Amino acid sequence: MNPINILYALAQFVPGLLHWAGKDNAADIAAKAMDVAQTLTGKDQLEDQLAVFKSSPELLVQYQKTLNDALVAQLQSENQQLETINATMRIEYASSDNYTRRWRPTMGYAVTIAWFLQMLALTYVIVFSIDKASQVINAVAALTAIWGIALAVLGVAVVKRSEDKQTAAGFQPAGIIGSIAKAAGIGGK
């Protein structure tokens, strides 16, 4: 059965499942949720498990507690990671060393210059050495993963710097969910 269908079926009992699987691990979370349901109910099929939970409030409460405990542990882990990242950023911001404070712009400039030079070289080869163009284009395609990482780091740096500026100006950044809610007219100002 499709992991998404499993999650939606079991989420009627444990709504936090959908948040927990909101990352890229829906299949793993669905498997864990099914394993716990199978252990508690003794049933292999999702429909049978749902029927047992609907008829046995005690098993349902035990199922909810088990999965909610796992969800809380996951959220605590994510919270600890965010606290570590935020502490690192505060230290960086408070540093009197200009290079430490300016690594984000340095990264931006380095990526921009490298991208410009690569595109300039690629254009030169395509225009003046057409016989080598396919080799160079294949070599540039091989750099996709490296550029993906560099641009992801740059993207995070830009977003975080924008949030830092908003916070310094007295605004609280809404984040992705807050922005969606604001656009949908269900929250925010």
pLDDT in tens, 47-70: 888 898 889 888 889 988 888 888
- Whether 81 and 145 map to the same domain: the answer is no
Domains in the chain: how many in total?
2
Residue 189 lies in a domain: no
Mean pLDDT within 134-141: 88
Instruction: Give the contacts of 162 (CB within 8 A, at least 6 positions apart).
Output: 173
Residue 44, pLDDT > 90, answer: no
Q: What is the pTM of this model?
A: 0.43
**φ, ψ dihedrals at 24, nearest 5°:** -110, 35
Q: State the residue range of the domain holding 51.
A: 3-90
- Whether 103 and 72 map to the same domain: the answer is no
The whole-number pLDDT of residue 117 equals: 94
Burial class (CB in 10 A: 0-12, 13-18, 19+), 50: middle
Residue 87, pLDDT > 70, answer: yes
Residue 189, pLDDT > 60, answer: no
CB-based contacts of 48-55 (< 8 A; 24+ apart in sequence): 50/9, 50/10, 53/13
Residue 187, pLDDT > 60, answer: no
- Whether 123 and 166 map to the same domain: the answer is yes
Which comes out higher in pLDDT, residue 174 or 53?
53
The whole-number pLDDT of residue 120 equals: 93
